[in-house]
Structure 1
Amino acid sequence: MKKFTFLLTMLVLSALPLFCEDISFSGGYTRMNMQEGKEVITLGNKALVTVGSLTLKADSIELSGDNFKYVNCTGSVSVEDPERGFSLVSKNLYYDRTKKLIIVNSWVELQDTTNEVSASGAWLEFDMENGTIRMQIHVRLFNNTDDGPMVCKAETVEFDRSGQTLRLLGDATIEWKEDTYQAQVISVDLETKEIKMDGSIRGTVHG
């Protein structure tokens, strides 16, 4: 019965328009509602969904919307994309396949192997099309450099992966090479390591 359900689901997904990326999945449990306008596929028991180079794993994954463009993951969520060079873990995750947009409304930990960056926070929005990440609430970000780790803290961090830039907003702090920089807004060029600060600036530099 499970084999029949899996094959039937694969036939449904194979009928999707060509403008969507190919999507494949697996799991120990599958439930489908194929009523027109209310199509939903629910995967449970070590659910896995692959969209292009992106792989999503969770306790439960729901596919819904037109052409199953919405992917909702719940419980022990992990995401890996070796082609784009990132991975993350969280308790829940929403992914819009057409917009290539990831949103996490829980504690999330991000690894960016391309830019040697790791970060954590309580909210994330990742626009994979533009390569931009926005994280909020007690954000901590680490960038590995030749002079040791650059530790960044702020209430909001905007990370442009393509442009290799950071923007720290609200109680922003950077600790690097035994120096400390504090301001309301701090901008960082990850390639040149140039740091710019605005608003209530403070710092300690060791000579």
Structure 2
Amino acid sequence: MPLCAEKIIFSANRMTGRAGNTNTTTTLSGNAYIKTDTMEIQAEDVELSGDDYRYIKATGSISGKNLETHMDFTCDSLEYDRNTKIALLKGNVKLDDKDNDVRAEAQIIEYNQDTEIAVLQIQIKLTQKENVCSGSYAVYYKNSQLLELSGNAQVKQKDDVFRAQNITLNMDTQDITLGGNVKGKVTDTKESKPEPKTTESEPESKDPETENQTTEFEMKKTEVKDGE
């Protein structure tokens, strides 16, 4: 694999190690700041290692941004490979896609800068427009604006709730595909029409108001065996 050619800039209150030396470890302590051609990271402590500082590890009050894909993030710890352009964020992770107004929260997020795909695990919550999505595992495709959820997957859209083993949400069209033990609640909002007036006395009329009709549905997964 070719070595990194991009420039790296760093600063901190204190540094240990030998700057500019290849295949060594340099530690930055206190208000550490790292900037490459594509990534900007601020943290309490940062460790640089590998040839040409290929690997970046950060801990403590981490915030940063991807300068190419416009993804901002905060987390407790971070590992970034400057060759593969893969970042592993852990602990109270928040990832904001500024281009599409999408915010993802999880305990672990792995983000591939080249493919612009984020894999989310544990305590997942992703919000976009009127969608609030959750599950045990999720894959967010930034370029195609698709979200795949699995493991107690759920999508809320205002008063509507969709649950299934697997859910795919197209964030552009808002189309939802559900698979496996499908359950949900859909609320249709209709405006009631006023009753026609008559010449006879009648009870006090009420102003037209919004009526909500809620429909619950449940579909259980059906298995079909070969030969049946």
Q: The TM-score by the shorter chain falls in which range?
A: 0.7 to 0.9
- Return the alpha-carbon distance in structure 1 between the equivalents of residues 27 and 119 of structure 2: 29
> Displacement of 1:77 after TM fit?
0.7
Can you list the C-alpha shifts for 1:90-116, whole angstroms capped at 9, x where unaligned? 111000000000002322111111111
C-alpha distance in structure 2 between counterparts of 1:177 and 1:65, whole Å: 49
Q: Which runs of 4+ in 1 moved over 3 A?
A: none
Q: 1:33, CA displacement in angstroms?
A: 4.4
Say whether residues 1:95 and 2:105 are aligned partners: no
Superposed displacement of residue 38, structure 1: 5.0
Q: Which has the larger radius of gyration?
A: 2
Match of 2:203 in 1: none
Contact 1:20 1:98 in 2 (8 A): no
The residue type paired with residue 71 of structure 2 is: F
Matched, 1:117 2:102: yes
Pick one of 184, 196, 203 that aligns with 2:165.
184
Aligned partner of 1:183: which letter? A
Amino acid at match of 1:111: D
User: Per-residue CA shift, 1:141-190, capped at 9, x if unaligned?
Assistant: 0002xxxx210010111000011100001000000031000000000111
> Following the alignment from structure 1 to structure 2, what is the Cα–Cα distance between the partners of residues 68 and 37?
7
Q: CA RMSD in A?
A: 1.9
Correspondent of 1:195 among 153, 176, 186 = 176
Normalised by the length of structure 2, the TM-score is 0.78
In structure 2, the partner of 1:12 is none
Gapped runs of 5+ residues in structure 2? Answer: 189-228
- Maintained 8 Å contact 1:20/1:97: no
Question: Which residue of structure 2 lines up, in the alignment, with residue 76 of structure 1?
Answer: 61
Name structure 1 gaps, 5 residues minimum. 1-16
Find out whether 1:21 has 2:38 as its counterpart.
no
Distance 2:114 2:155 in 1: 28
In the other structure, the counterpart of 1:86 is 71
The amino acid that maps onto 2:17 is M
Asked if 1 retains the 8 angstrom alpha-carbon contact of 2:78 and 2:90, the reply is: yes
Q: Secondary structure at the match of 1:106?
A: strand
1:55: which partner in 2?
A: 40
Which structure shows the higher helix fraction? 1
Distance 1:105 1:178 in 2: 32
Tell whether 2:114 aligns with 1:129: yes
Question: Which residue matches 2:138?
Answer: 157
